[in-house]
Amino acid sequence: ELSSRFYTVVPHDLGFRDLRRHVISDVGALRRKLRLVEDLRQLHSARAVVHRAARAHPGPLPNPVDAQYERLRCQLTPLAPTEWGPAGAHWFVAAYMRDTHAATHTLGAAICGVYAVRREGEEQRYQDWKAAREGAGEAR
Amino acid at 40: L
CA Rg value for the chain: 29
- pLDDT above 60 (res 137): yes
What is the C-alpha to C-alpha distance for residues 64 and 42, in angstroms, rounded to an integer? 21
In this predicted model, which residue has the larger pLDDT, 121 or 23? 121
- pLDDT above 60 (res 129): yes
> pTM score > 0.85 for this model?
no
Determine if residue 36 is left, alpha or beta; phi over 0 gives left, psi from -120 to 50 gives alpha, anything else beta: alpha
- What tens digit of pLDDT does each residue of 48-59 get? 877 777 677 677
What is the C-alpha to C-alpha distance for residues 60 and 39, in angstroms, rounded to an integer? 27
DSSP state for residue 88 in the 8-state scheme:
S
What pLDDT was estimated at residue 140? 46
Amino acid at 102: A
- What tens digit of pLDDT does each residue of 71-119 get? 888 888 888 766 655 567 777 888 888 788 777 776 677 788 888 888 8
